[in-house]
Structure 1
């Protein structure tokens, strides 16, 4: 379907793209890359199937967004999904699950059986990272903005690396129930629980990480966050305490955004939201942001004069009998697309 025949007020088009949009990645301003991968998840699996589920759910979405009216017309395109990633994820997930079961059963991480499987998983995750970085680099070098749809939270590493190679400095707005600051969690260097640790280690251009809604983390992670000048923590309990004392959510959002530099990447783990928004996510945690609170934070970011240079939506776990997770993922993705384009309007001359 060509853009000139696309009817945004018509029936949702099931054409294999996010939102059923007809844009070509070669000409769209924003390109969405998919990462169907969830090898190292430590509790509930299924995020590898999120891209397809979100594509399906997204065709039921209406296009008017009062926060970014008409922004989608500048082009939101879907890059071809590399399903070899999903096939590799399924193979390696078996090895990772056996390692996790071994460790949770009290087994030693030094057992030869475990060492071999961990090495295989780490090599596979490194290959996935290289794949995503290569895809991202292709579109970034073509002048596109890139958003990533996971997959688990390990998947944005390649995109963030690609941005680090092309920007002198940027911040990360990290919405999540977890800090993801563990060093090689369960032996997996590129664990979903290690993404921000790896960014701190490998991407010095990420000069500030503002972690919002975090509420489930280890003492080691808390110590690292407290000691690092690159991390600003807005944990869930502290945010709630501020509300109880009378600070509005709008004021809190301004305070959060105020810690970030001019260019910002958004990493959105769906478990940063409350349960009713993502009941099947891999590692659910009580508490969290409401949908509207999260959207308002993104809107404050976009209106602040900062530019969103990329983003991800991760840890959506679709369920065969319930669609709420995919529906929430699709709508968060839509808001991020629109607000990202809105924040880049000046650069685009719009």
Structure 2
């Protein structure tokens, strides 16, 4: 069937209602409906479905890369098997968290063991899917789910070569096994820093972190850097241009970049239902400008994730504001990754 991007979108089960198969697409997106280690507000396991349903609203023309979509974007179907698997582990994790919140002594460590072993199984599956698609010269993106999900994809990429991580996030995610969960959403960047291929991690937008994380960052001797929300806003209020700050950020990144995008890095007005919202944050246009400057610099986006989008439980899921914003971030990540690798 001939596809006309100017006509009314016809939802077909693929992201953005695009007509591409896995074989035809350059970008393949793996949805992971997981919120096993969520520590505050739940709902992000519904993020992939909400974004899928909101995504046909998007028009494809983008002045930076007008024809990038033609190279192909495909999203795997959401796996009911893994959704059920994650939901079952979530129930165990909730009992662990409630135990900690009461301040009770830990007696049954087997519960934490089950969660930790279970999240490793999930990470192994993600890594295998990623490796298979990377071997086919695909750009792999991951759509969470909580921010623990991308570790398997990062592992797969780290076995192919060195790269840096640009993380847009209100948090540093450098805690060690937060709440006893080794693969916690609050530990993803600490775990990533231990991967052999990861040579640099640069956070942009952090505004909520603990002493343990600052100490770990300082001990990294420059491997991990942070352009905090306060630093950014102070400079903006003092008259410094965002374009100048972007060049400073880019200078700290290597040639190959993985973009890890936690939606809570944005102004919470753009993601009101995300699990751990924090006042402040980046605007949509700010982030897109930074990503475009990265591509203009000649750096390559080798993979990406978008996590922690959580739809409202009251709204129609396809018209949910969280999902609408999330789908547009996902589209930008996809076409910028395509364009950064000279695929158009």
Match of 1:175 among 150, 164, 168: 168
Alpha-carbon distance between aligned partners in 1 of 2:92 and 2:307, rounded to the nearest angstrom:
22
SS in 2 for 1:260: coil
Corresponding residue of 2:208: 216
Alpha-carbon distance between aligned partners in 1 of 2:312 and 2:110, rounded to the nearest angstrom:
32
Alpha-carbon distance between aligned partners in 2 of 1:227 and 1:243, rounded to the nearest angstrom:
28
Q: Deviation of residue 130 (structure 1)?
A: 0.6
Alpha-carbon distance between aligned partners in 1 of 2:76 and 2:127, rounded to the nearest angstrom:
14
Q: Is the counterpart of residue 26 in structure 1 residue 18 in structure 2?
A: no
| Aligned-CA RMSD value | 1.0
Match of 1:232 among 205, 213, 225: 225
Corresponding residue of 2:183: 190
Q: Is the counterpart of residue 119 in structure 1 residue 113 in structure 2?
A: yes
Corresponding residue of 1:338: 335
Cα contact 2:34–2:86 (8 A) shared by 1 = yes
Residue correspondence of structure 1 range 128-167 to structure 2 within 5 A: 128-167=122-161
Q: Deviation of residue 251 (structure 1)?
A: 0.8
Alpha-carbon distance between aligned partners in 1 of 2:164 and 2:181, rounded to the nearest angstrom:
25
Q: Is the counterpart of residue 299 in structure 1 residue 307 in structure 2?
A: no
Corresponding residue of 1:15: 12
Q: Deviation of residue 77 (structure 1)?
A: 1.2
TM-score, length of structure 2 as denominator length: 0.97
Corresponding residue of 2:85: 88
Residue correspondence of structure 1 range 313-328 to structure 2 within 5 A: 313-322=306-315, 323-328=320-325
Deviations 1:3-57 (A, max 9, x none): xx11111111211111001111112111111111110000011111111110000
Unpaired runs of 5+ in structure 2? none
SS in 1 for 2:282: coil
Unpaired runs of 5+ in structure 1? none
Deviations 1:323-349 (A, max 9, x none): 11111110000111111111011xx4x
Corresponding residue of 1:77: 74
Cα contact 2:203–2:226 (8 A) shared by 1 = yes
Alpha-carbon distance between aligned partners in 2 of 1:12 and 1:293, rounded to the nearest angstrom:
28
Corresponding residue of 1:101: 98
Provide runs of 4+ in structure 1 moved above 3 Å: none
Alpha-carbon distance between aligned partners in 2 of 1:86 and 1:302, rounded to the nearest angstrom:
34
Alpha-carbon distance between aligned partners in 1 of 2:265 and 2:22, rounded to the nearest angstrom:
30
Alpha-carbon distance between aligned partners in 2 of 1:223 and 1:245, rounded to the nearest angstrom:
28
SS in 2 for 1:220: helix
Cα contact 2:199–2:223 (8 A) shared by 1 = yes
The alignment covers a number of residue pairs equal to: 339
Alpha-carbon distance between aligned partners in 2 of 1:118 and 1:66, rounded to the nearest angstrom:
49
